[in-house]
């Protein structure tokens, strides 16, 4: 059942640690967040994914505080380039910045090595080869074991891989967001790179009940960065869930579990990392690894969620400008391309 990253085998469903301290409203209660992290290890969730920017370092620190004594029990991923300085977001892919960020992350995480360290976003001012070279140096120094890329396309993947082998490419991938299928899903398979699928539950859309935009906190990024949740688009997306509910009932699982299982069915090299603050949801997500979909069910879901049926762009213009993931032609038209 386990899946490979580098030469390590991990449970196929990891835990994304962004929304514990970041993105979807105010930070979680820290005691509850630590209890969630402990419970993750207790049920066998051994792949934790965080980043420097999440909570301006607080997500990393919570992992260190809650799980530092159990460090050998989990595969730890974090990210650099997208960071902070004086509590302001910065984007810096220079080698010296990457190495400084790694040192700071190691301290917050209370560890001497990060298993998987990503370039969180492309820095258009720095050639990817220079940033990849810094990662190679960190591997030689024993401070990270593997490196990866996040929200980048096939060209940057191949360029970075030519400098030093990339272990994982992280990208948003779900029934609702099919962009990896344009190029990187197959490129990762070809190169032996794990595709780590973040937001496999569609930022809450692919849940039962689905996320309710009317309930979002004023600081929730879904209010501004993800147009599919806007008043003019959201209602048009809800009919997509009809087929998902039918197939979930057939498979004997919840819709969120179905969504996670679908990402796993897209290839043995795909590892979903759903995020949650809720222990019951954590346990359900973890159990999704046991959901088996037939080829006919996968085909029905693929047809129901064909990319052009999603209403609204994946990202706002500013969000789209921050990534180099491939777009479908209809998305290029949405963004004026």
Asked if 52 contacts 104 with a C-beta cutoff of 8 angstroms, the reply is: yes
The DSSP-derived string for 240-252 is GHHHHHHHHHHHT
The alpha helices in 201-309, defined as continuous H runs, are: 231-237, 241-251, 255-265, 279-287, 295-304
Q: What share of the chain is helix, strand, coil (3-state, %, to 5)?
A: 50, 15, 35
Q: CB neighbours (10 Å) of residue 86?
A: 5
The 3-state secondary structure of 13-36 reads CCEECCCCCCCECCCCCHHHHHHH
C-alpha to C-alpha distances, 112 to 76, 143, 145, 284, 309, nearest whole angstrom: 11, 6, 11, 32, 46
Kindly give the interhelix angle for 255-265 and 241-251, rounded to the nearest 10 degrees: 90
Indicate if 54 belongs to the active site: yes
Question: Catalytic pick from 24, 54, 118, 173?
Answer: 54
Instruction: Using only the alpha carbons of the chain, give its radius of gyration.
Output: 19
Report how far residue 46's alpha carbon sits from residue 155's, in angstroms, rounded to the nearest whole number.
31
Name which of 224, 79, 48 is nearest 151 in CA terms: 79
Q: Which residues are catalytic?
A: 54
């Amino acid at each position: 059942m386990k899946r490979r990253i580098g030469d390590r085998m991990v449970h196929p469903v990891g835990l994304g640690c962004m929304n514990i301290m970041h993105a979807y409203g105010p930070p979680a209660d820290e005691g509850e967040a630590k209890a969630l992290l402990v419970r993750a290890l207790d049920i066998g969730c051994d792949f934790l994914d965080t980043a420097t920017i999440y909570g301006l370092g607080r997500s990393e620190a919570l992992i260190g505080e809650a799980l530092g004594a159990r460090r050998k029990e989990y595969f730890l991923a974090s990210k650099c380039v997208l960071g902070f300085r004086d509590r302001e977001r910065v984007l810096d892919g220079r080698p010296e910045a990457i190495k400084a960020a790694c040192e700071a992350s190691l301290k917050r995480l209370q560890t001497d090595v990060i298993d998987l360290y990503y370039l969180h976003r492309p820095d258009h001012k720095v050639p990817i080869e220079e940033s990849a070279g810094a990662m190679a140096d960190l591997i030689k120094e024993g401070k990270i074991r593997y490196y990866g890329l996040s929200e980048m396309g096939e060209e940057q993947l191949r360029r970075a891989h030519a400098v030093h082998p990339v272990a994982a490419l992280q990208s948003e991938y779900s029934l609702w967001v099919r962009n990896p299928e344009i190029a990187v899903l197959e490129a990762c398979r070809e190169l032996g790179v794990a595709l780590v699928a973040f937001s496999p539950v569609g930022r809450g859309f692919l849940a039962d009940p689905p996320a309710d935009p009317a309930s979002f906190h004023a600081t929730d990024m879904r209010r501004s960065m993800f147009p599919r949740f806007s008043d003019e688009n959201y209602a048009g997306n809800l009919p997509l869930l009809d087929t998902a509910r039918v197939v979930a009932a057939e498979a004997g699982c919840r819709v969120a579990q179905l969504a996670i299982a679908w990402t796993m069915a897209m290839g043995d090299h795909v590892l979903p990392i759903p995020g949650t603050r809720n222990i019951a949801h954590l346990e359900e997500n973890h159990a999704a690894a046991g959901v088996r979909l037939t080829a006919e069910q996968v085909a029905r879901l693929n047809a129901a969620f064909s990319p052009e049926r999603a209403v609204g762009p994946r990202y706002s213009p500013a969000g789209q400008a921050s990534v180099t993931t491939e777009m479908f032609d209809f998305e290029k038209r949405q963004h004026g391309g």
